[in-house]
Chains A and B, each alone.
Chain A
């Protein structure tokens, strides 16, 4: 197989790689906020349970979590393994990334000086208005660099979908590497990931610039 055929075949999986990437972000970014707010709940039980769940999600490999989500329902309840592996992949990724985003959000929210809340309260803003108008915009600016780091990791983590044979770019590359006994597909995959992350870097850099208008 020549290099161009190889690239063409692996490109067919890029759509699925992008699907994992964008769907994971779509679900995990908001889910992370819900988790963060629960984690900061006044109820010790709620915050304790959420804290434990977060530590499990961050303390065990994503690969294991993916296997559990994909095959767990079959072994536990005899539910047949879904044909479309995208669903378990996105579920596992979204939950895992939500745990990381939640901790980033929490750090950001807790870094906002208490004086901002007090000023808003004295002016008569409701709790929701204070959070949405005063706190959240400042949090977004503060956490953007950490979120960028997670997004870059996510690009590379999409390759973990090969463990459940979801036909994304890396899985195809690995299959070609096996059948052709060639290392070249891995080089191609590396170039793909690097280019993908160059785009992520560019976009997030623009976003950070856009928020540079205040300190």
Chain B
């Protein structure tokens, strides 16, 4: 079964069409990277998939259930969107941790408040996740006391603590100093090895190549090319992709 299925997604900002007839399915355990020039609609696609933006047309299913439908040209969102939000997590470029909460409270607040799960159980799981990330000694720290790389790892754990079926990343290392990107990429790689389903928007080409099962190249709001990383990077079919990758290598 597809974890995520997007069909014919359309999105405009005023007169600007940002997504044109985008269709995309992600299978369980699959790691998909999305690359493309600035303004090509990568973030918008993730924001539509996570309901931060509303589609103008198209359909979105999570785990075979319809979250968004288009009926007679009208986009209809499911009544209980929070049921769908439980299926995914989103890691932001600039972390968006809650600054007034400790690390542990950042992790526990949503599982306890939103999912209404028992505190002790959630705490145990969150501490375990922190240990896995080598952050257990930061449980009582505040986000402002952490480095950017640590903050981003905490925000990944915050998403994982909700036990999502799929994780979205929007340029998870773009806000980090170069020497800090490695620790975050390592964590994502580790998740990929554990068969976490992930969609990653990134400008880190070497990383995309190494970690993905599939690479998607977007430009001008359309998927120009997609395939196995070795094909997209090694045996590029489309001139636009070739151009983009050429600019990147310089």
Contact = CB atoms under 8 A, between A and B. Distances in A.
Q: Which secondary structure characterizes the binding site on chain B?
A: loop
B82 A124 contact: yes
Contacts of B158: 123
Given A137-B100, A214-B142, A123 B110 contact: yes
Contact of B99 (A120, A129, A133, A138): A138
B94 A214 contact: no
Interface stretch (A83-91, A111-119, A176-184): A111-119
Given A133-B109, A137-B100, A215 B144 contact: yes
A122 interface: yes
Interface in B77-107: 82, 85-86, 88-90, 92, 94, 96-100
A214 B82 contact: no
Contacts of B86: 124
A124 B143 contact: no
A202 interface: no
A141 B100 contact: yes
A214 B96 contact: no
Identify the 3 closest CB pairs spanning chains A and B, nearest first.
Answer: A119-B96, A115-B96, A123-B110
Interface of A: 113, 115-116, 118-126, 129, 133-134, 137-138, 141, 213-215
Interface centre among A116, A123, A137, A214 (most CB of B within 10 A): A123
Contacts of B98: 116, 119-120, 134
Chain B, interface size category, equals 20 to 34
Given A123-B110, A129-B113, A133-B113, A214 B143 contact: yes
Contacts of B144: 214-215
Interface centre among B89, B94, B98, B143 (most CB of A within 10 A): B98
B52 A116 contact: no
Interface string B193-216: 000000000000000000000000
B62 to A, nearest CB: 13
Contacts of A125: 110, 113-114
B70 interface: no
Contacts of A118: 52, 92, 96
Contacts of B99: 138, 214-215
A125 B90 CA distance: 14
Given A118-B52, A213-B142, A215-B144, A124 B96 contact: no
A82 to B, nearest CB: 44
Given A115-B96, A137-B100, A214-B99, A123 B162 contact: yes
A126 B113 CA distance: 10
A120 B92 CA distance: 12
Contact of B100 (A113, A121, A138): A138
